[in-house]
Structure 1
Amino acid sequence: MPAPGRFVVLEGSDGCGKSTQAERLVRALMTRGIDVQATFEPGATDLGRALRRVLLGGDHAVSARAEALLMAADRAEHVDTVVRPNLAAGTWVVSDRFVGSSLAYQGGARGLGFDAIATINEFATAGLTPDAVVYLQAPVEVL
């Protein structure tokens, strides 16, 4: 049985370079012979892609609470079908966004509060936490 993989998450505001840095990290791990799976939220699964169209498509007004639950549903599917299976196989997982984004967007920006979002996501992830979270910051004028 392989050693479990590691779960690394990149968080930060829109446009701060998360995707770019995630790609660089994946390449660096691969050059060191580490099996790695790049992923992202929302939208890395079939369910996530459907939810992403609803949430980001602009055609539907979604309440803050419904948005939080949809994001948690995507996260549950993502954890169950992408993250956990890869970790169990010994593959590292590098994710562009995870729970921190929901805490910021739904908890903070949408006003639902951090406790509610943390509780929803504890259930959605079945307690899975990253081995490392990298927070990227960029000056507002750069974004």
Structure 2
Amino acid sequence: MTRGLWVTLEGGDGSGKTTQATLLEEWLRERGRSVVRTREPGGTDVGVLIRDIVLHHRGDIAPRAEALLYAADRAHHVATLVRPALERGEVVIQDRYLDSSVAYQGAGRVLDGGEVRDLSLWGTEGALPDVTVLLDLDPAAARRRLDAADKPFDRL
């Protein structure tokens, strides 16, 4: 069996990751490919619990603790969802991965981005996507999209 393909989408909130992932999924399915759509955090049962902690914890989470929570989600996510899907020959389309942690927990929380990256690589046994698509959008335009979508505030 042929190994699948792993595509991650990165970009700020409102940049269009979900829209592009949906379009790619539809295009691949029309061509007979089996597709697994997922996200971080929250792509597995464990990830949902971690997402809930990060979203709904009252008060601040220490930056290193937050980085560890995301790395734990990522380790479980890759081991239980991504790798098995790739081994079955499926295409995995994933909203956020390692680059988001480097940006948000690294630069955003003033941690060392290299340490954040290394932590996730250790947890996933070095797993990297086949391709990462970075969606870049002016922050003001992204804010307008988010406001127009009438979405509640999301700490993530």
Q: Whole-Å Cα distance in 2 between the matches of residues 67 and 56 of structure 1?
A: 11
Superposition TM-score, scaled by structure 2 size:
0.88
Q: Secondary structure at the match of 1:43?
A: coil
Q: Which amino acid aligns with 1:112?
A: L
Q: Which amino acid aligns with 2:44?
A: T
Deviations 1:89-118 (A, max 9, x none): 000100000000000000110011111111
1:8 aligns with 2:7: yes
1:104 aligns with 2:78: no
Deviates more, 1:66-75 or 1:13-22: 13-22
For residue 131 of structure 2, what is the aligned residue in structure 1? Answer: 132
Q: Whole-Å Cα distance in 2 between the matches of residues 26 and 58 of structure 1?
A: 33
Note the C-alpha offset of 1:31.
0.6
For residue 57 of structure 1, what is the aligned residue in structure 2? Answer: 56
Q: Which amino acid aligns with 2:89?
A: G
For residue 47 of structure 1, what is the aligned residue in structure 2? Answer: 46
Q: Which amino acid aligns with 1:88?
A: E
Q: Which amino acid aligns with 1:18?
A: K
Q: Whole-Å Cα distance in 2 between the matches of residues 126 and 52 of structure 1?
A: 22
1:67 aligns with 2:66: yes
Name the count of aligned residue pairs: 142
Deviations 1:77-100 (A, max 9, x none): 100111000000000100000000
Q: Gaps (5+ residues) in structure 2?
A: 143-156
Superposition pairs of residues 67-86 of structure 1, within 5 angstroms: 67-86=66-85
Q: Which amino acid aligns with 2:23?
A: R
Q: Whole-Å Cα distance in 2 between the matches of residues 118 and 37 of structure 1?
A: 24
Deviates more, 1:65-74 or 1:116-125: 116-125
Q: Which amino acid aligns with 1:123?
A: W
Q: Could you tell me the percent identity over the aligned residues?
A: 44
Q: Whole-Å Cα distance in 1 between the matches of residues 59 and 124 of structure 2?
A: 26
Note the C-alpha offset of 1:8.
0.3
Superposition TM-score, scaled by structure 1 size:
0.96
Q: Gaps (5+ residues) in structure 1?
A: none
Q: Which amino acid aligns with 2:9?
A: L
Q: Which amino acid aligns with 1:78?
A: H
Note the C-alpha offset of 1:61.
2.0
Note the C-alpha offset of 1:58.
4.5
